[in-house]
Each structure stands twice: as structure tokens, then as C-alpha cells.
Structure 1
Amino acid sequence: MTQQTPQAPHASSLRDSARRTLRLEQQAIGALIARLDADFDRACQLILACRGRVVVTGMGKSGHIAGKIAATLASTGTPAFFVHPGEASHGDLGMITPGDVVLALSNSGETAEVTALLPLLKRMGVPLVSMTGRPASTLARHAEAHLDAGVEREACPLDLAPTASTTAALALGDALAVALLESRGFTAEEFALSHPGGSLGKRLLLRVADLMHDGPRLPIVPLGSPLRDALLEITRQGLGFTCVVDEQGRLAGVYTDGDLRRTLDQHSDLSGLTVDTVMTRPGKRVAPEMLAAEAVKLMEDHRISALAVVDDDDRPVGALHMHDLLASGVI
């Protein structure tokens, strides 16, 4: 007896399935808006008043969502961490202190590993915020604030696999984190401090002084220098330009690779030229304390690849090149 190989589904039916899933999850998130009530305010107030940390817990798929919510809270100004409810009953409950707030996730609101924690939390006096799909559930009824993350149905065609429900819980967790972030006045700089290794942190934290070439690496020639000396300085430092300074050491202008091309177009003999007759005046400049990301924008706006860095007296103290910004991850 031969066994027939199932035919692969048609591509359009795969896309139809995907669209149906996305529509159901979109509807699940949209339905949350009308259900935001005073309990959401109460949940935020409990967390804002928390002297310790927000301990987020959940089992199974809800546990995965709980872990993400904890990570989002922690990175946006609300100290938080995830505790596995099964492990909590076997010693990890010691990670929870009376100054904490517990945020517990369970779609049914009856997850045994989570509800088993209720008497212990009550005894410790730890406030409980629940996020469930059933406002009448055990977990919801015993919470100081309940966040309703219920959905009409799962995106799974069997209405079994957690799909729309986990998406709704994740979105509600984001809404909670952002509300807390805004209430605290959390800034981009504070966000960067918890993300120093990421590209966002680098864009927000690095300043021009952290990346500039200074000291002997600073290309510089005085006004009146022969053009040949300026070209040698550009070649020696390899930054594509040189600063040109007056008698007081202040930046008078810059001479760049682009200026050299224009000079060659306009002059057949370079031997008698001095740098101040062909340089760009006054030249773009930045301060050492400027954010590197702001320097990138200045370069992009003016289509240049290098900048002079000057102090408060307009004296060059460094040079910044686009390659340094690329290498540092700012771009």
C-alpha cells in the first residue's frame, strides 16, 4: 500500500493564513484600549511607590512574556526582574522582599504554580498586580490591581495555542512600561546608561571628545604656509583635511581633499600658492562636548567627512573623521 505525500499548500493560502492571524492579533490589541480602567492607574501607582523592584512572574508562554515585560521595565527606569513561579516555591521566593511589587501573568488566572504564591505574598505584605484573561479568576480577585488582557479567541485555528492572548499581554506590558516611563520623566540619556553596549547607547552617550584625534594626531598648519606644507600635513595625518590657524592659534579655516580638487581645476601651477589663498573659510567646527550623533548630522547636512574640534577660544583641540564615527558604532 503506497503512502501519498501531502501536497504543499498554495502560496496564497499561506498568506491568507498569515493575514488572518495578524488581523485577529490586531483586534486583540485594539480591544484592550476600551478596557483600560482605574485598575491600570492603581497598578502604575503601586509600582511608582515601590521601594524595591517589580518582580514579574508567569508560567509557560505567559512566563516568556513576563520575562520580556521585566526586561522592558528594567530598561525604561523601573527596576524589575523575572522569577519563575515553580522555582519560587522551591527557594527563589527569597528573591522577593517586602518592598517589592509582584506582577503576575496567567491567561486563565488559575495557573497552579502562580496561585500557590498568593498566601506567601499576602503574608509578606507584597502588593500584587495581576494580568489575566479572566477578571473573575482567582489571581485577578486576589490582586490589588488587575489588568484585563483577555481576548475573544486565539489566532490559532484550534483556539488552543497561546497566540492572540500572548500578543495582548505583551502589548499591555508595553503600555504599562511606557506609562511608567513618562510618569517618571525618564530621559534618552537615562535609557542610554542602561544600554552602554548597544548602538543606541553609543549614539546617546559618546561625545566628540571621546572620538577625536588630538595632540600629535591633530592636523594643523599656520596661515601663510605654502600649499605644499598643507598637503604634506594632510597626507601625514591621513584625515583628509588640515586646520589652518592664525597667529593667536585660532581656527581661520580648513583645507580639505575637496579643496585640493578645486585648486587643481583652477590653478595650473601650485608652486607659489599659500594655503590661506585656497582654503575654506571659516570651516565647519564643533565643540568637544557635542554629542557624536550631532556631529554626524552636521557632516551629513554639509556633505563633509571631517570636522575641526575647537575650544571656547576657537582654538583647534582635535579633529573628527567620519571613519571614527563608523568604527565606534555611532553610525
Structure 2
Amino acid sequence: MATPNELCQWARDVIDTEIGALNGLKQQINQAFVDACELIQSCRGKVIVMGMGKSGHIGHKIAATLASTGTPSFFVHPGEASHGDLGMISDSDVVIAISNSGEASEIMTLMPVIRRHDIQVIAMTGNPESSLAKVAQIHLNIAVEKEACPLGLAPTSSTTATLAMGDALAVALLQAKGFTADDFALSHPGGALGRKLLLRVDDITHTGEQLPVVGTQVSISTALLEVSAKGLGMTCIVDDYGVMQGLFTDGDLRRVLDARIDIHSTSIGEVMTKKPIVISDNLLAAEALKLMEQKNINGLIRVDTQGAPLGALNMMDMLKAGVL
């Protein structure tokens, strides 16, 4: 049975081998890579990725990464393509064919048909002299010195290199297109990522009757009733014109009680926090959360251009919305 030290050393050896493979891959970022990027940029259709076995698994990921970063793409299984799925590929598409040996029979069987339709092919292989490399218009060399598998059989370093080349293509294209975080968000509307990129404070602030508001002349006790009724741990303080003059929070209440101030006879305007931190419309909820964390506050008020309060939110709202 292997010792803990042996297990850790074997793992480190794998990582070292794959790091070496990636360092070698840098030398293959050349004119062929530029040509591949330019071909994809000029593509009027979609990028079709195909590969068999482990190359197919990597191909699925490359297609997904391209699609999520602004390059329309999907994976087609070469075996299924021979039985009808080839109809998913149009003359305006570009094919990325992946095969470490460059001799995958399922892919080579498709090449005459693909070439007949004058569809451009980018080959990713570990052998520039392979059949696939020769039939393709552009060849991206993903050769590695050795696999991390000690038997030299299981695709390890080669699949890592292929994945890295796919990521390099996707990110280079992303930057060339000027793809933004907003663009990224539109293709990731679900989950935590989508919420952070799409959700704005307008979507989660309490407005209308839910917004706690009192005038500057009311007593502290009256203001506390508003705080309690709205359940946000704070209330806006406005003047006769509805413009925000300050904020009163649970923290302010503790300071008032410590100072033994009469909450029935003292106006809220005398003890409120003047010039509180406020936010405007269209601010991302994630940005509002960052502001709250930086300023060590639990709530924020959204105001209009005149300074009138429009809505309020607190940390609990961030938690419920999945931003926190």
C-alpha cells in the first residue's frame, strides 16, 4: 500500500509534467494561432467543435467556453455526425477538429464531406504530419513531450494542453471583440454568477409603502415606530420637500440610549446621522454590497437626482437575493 508521502509525490510529479507541457505549448502560439483567430472572427456561422474520446470531453468544454465568451459554438460528436448530425453543420460554419494523434477515423471519415461543402477546418493535433493536420486549412500544434501518466497511455498532459489551447482561443477572441462583463452576464443569467452580474439595486430595494421615512421634527420615539414597522433597522429622515437629510439606524439608537437622551422629547433631526452614504439607480447589487462591506454598514438608501429617497435595502436583502 502506498504511503502518504508517495501519494503526494506522485501527484506533484503529475502537476510538474503538465506545467512543463503548458510551458512548451507557449511556443505554439504563432502565426497559425493568429490565422485561427482571424478565421473564427470572420465566421458568419458557428464554430463546430468535434473530437472522440477524451478529446471529445475537452471539445465539449472548449465549445462551451467559446459560446459563453461571445463566439457562438457547439459540440458535434463525430460518430453521431456520420449518422445524420452532420446536417447540423452549415457552409458558413468553421470546424475545430481535435485529435491528439491526428488519425481519429471517425473524424477523418467526415473530412471529405466537410471539404466538399468548402467548410474551413482548424485542426488541433499533436502531430503536424498527421492526416488531419494535412487536410485542415489551419493546424494548431498541441504536442507534448510526455503524458503525466507513468504508462504513457492515459491522456493527461495532452488533454491539459488541448484545453489550454482552447481557452487561449476563446479569451483572445473575447478581448478582440471587446466582450464586456455585461455581455458575459447575458449568457449567464442563472446562478450566483448571473445574480452578481445582472442584479441591480433597483431590483431588490424596498420602495413605496415599504420604505421607512419620517420628517426631521418627529420625536425619536415616533421614528422608532417607523423603524419597527418597516423592519429594515433604519429610517430615512426627510425635510418638508421630501429631500433626504439623514438616516437613523439601530446603531444610532444604541448611542442615543447610552447617552440617556429622552426619546420622547428629542426630535429625530437632532440625533440622526447626517450625510449618510447613499446610492443611485442602476448600481449593481454586487457593487452595493462591496460598498457596504467597505464602509462597515448594514443598509443603504437609494435616492434620485434631487436627493429624495426612492428605496432602501440591507444585508438581509443581499442574502435573500443570493448576492451575499
TM score, norm. by length of structure 2: 0.99
Tell me by how many angstroms 1:289 deviates: 1.5
Tell me by how many angstroms 1:283 deviates: 1.3
Give the match's secondary structure for 2:67. helix
Tell me by how many angstroms 1:269 deviates: 3.1
> Could you tell me whether the CA contact under 8 Å between 2:142 and 2:161 is conserved in 1?
yes
Match of 1:103 among 96, 117, 137: 96
Alpha-carbon distance between aligned partners in 2 of 1:40 and 1:198, rounded to the nearest angstrom: 34
Tell me by how many angstroms 1:268 deviates: 4.8
Give a deviation string over 1:174-228, Cα, whole Å, max 9, x none.
Answer: 0010111011110011001100102122111111100100011000001111111
Task: Answer yes or no: is 1:206 the counterpart of 2:208.
Answer: no
Task: Answer yes or no: is 1:36 the counterpart of 2:2.
Answer: no
Query: What aligned pairs does 1:64-143 form with structure 2 within 5 A after superposition?
Result: 64-143=57-136
Alpha-carbon distance between aligned partners in 1 of 2:223 and 2:263, rounded to the nearest angstrom: 12
Q: What residue identity is the alignment partner of 1:288?
A: D
Q: What residue identity is the alignment partner of 2:151?
A: L
Partner residue of 2:314?
321
Give a deviation string over 1:112-144, Cα, whole Å, max 9, x none.
Answer: 001111101110111000000001101111111
TM score, norm. by length of structure 1: 0.97
Partner residue of 2:231?
238
Q: What residue identity is the alignment partner of 1:123?
A: R
* More displaced stretch, 266-275 vs 242-251: 266-275
Match of 1:18 among 11, 17, 21: 11
Partner residue of 1:219?
212
Partner residue of 1:311?
304
> Could you tell me whether the CA contact under 8 Å between 2:219 and 2:263 is conserved in 1?
no
Give a deviation string over 1:231-253, Cα, whole Å, max 9, x none.
Answer: 01111111010000001000000
Alpha-carbon distance between aligned partners in 1 of 2:295 and 2:33, rounded to the nearest angstrom: 48
Tell me by how many angstroms 1:30 deviates: 0.8
Task: Answer yes or no: is 1:157 the counterpart of 2:147.
Answer: no
Residue correspondences, number: 324
Q: Calculate the aligned-residue CA RMSD, in Å.
A: 0.8
Q: Percent identity?
A: 54
Partner residue of 1:179?
172
Give a deviation string over 1:244-287, Cα, whole Å, max 9, x none.
Answer: 00010000000000000111111253221110111000211111
Give the match's secondary structure for 1:13. helix
Question: Structure 1 regions of 5+ residues with no counterpart?
Answer: 1-7
Tell me by how many angstroms 1:330 deviates: 1.6
Task: Answer yes or no: is 1:295 the counterpart of 2:293.
Answer: no
Partner residue of 1:267?
260
> Could you tell me whether the CA contact under 8 Å between 2:45 and 2:90 is conserved in 1?
yes
Give a deviation string over 1:65-84, Cα, whole Å, max 9, x none.
Answer: 00000000000000000000
Alpha-carbon distance between aligned partners in 2 of 1:218 and 1:264, rounded to the nearest angstrom: 25
Give the match's secondary structure for 2:274. coil
Give a deviation string over 1:22-55, Cα, whole Å, max 9, x none.
Answer: 0000100110111221111111111000000000
Alpha-carbon distance between aligned partners in 1 of 2:293 and 2:202, rounded to the nearest angstrom: 19
Q: What residue identity is the alignment partner of 2:136?
A: A
Match of 1:228 among 211, 221, 225: 221
Q: What residue identity is the alignment partner of 1:273?
A: T
Give the match's secondary structure for 2:188. coil
Give the match's secondary structure for 1:189. helix
Alpha-carbon distance between aligned partners in 1 of 2:223 and 2:11, rounded to the nearest angstrom: 62
> Could you tell me whether the CA contact under 8 Å between 2:185 and 2:197 is conserved in 1?
yes
Match of 2:186 among 169, 187, 193: 193
Q: What residue identity is the alignment partner of 2:296?
A: R
Alpha-carbon distance between aligned partners in 1 of 2:179 and 2:34, rounded to the nearest angstrom: 18
Task: Answer yes or no: is 1:148 the counterpart of 2:141.
Answer: yes
Give the match's secondary structure for 1:117. helix
Q: What residue identity is the alignment partner of 1:313?
A: Q
Alpha-carbon distance between aligned partners in 1 of 2:28 and 2:184, rounded to the nearest angstrom: 30
Q: What residue identity is the alignment partner of 2:63?
A: A
Q: What residue identity is the alignment partner of 1:82?
A: F
Alpha-carbon distance between aligned partners in 1 of 2:314 and 2:285, rounded to the nearest angstrom: 11
Alpha-carbon distance between aligned partners in 2 of 1:70 and 1:187, rounded to the nearest angstrom: 19
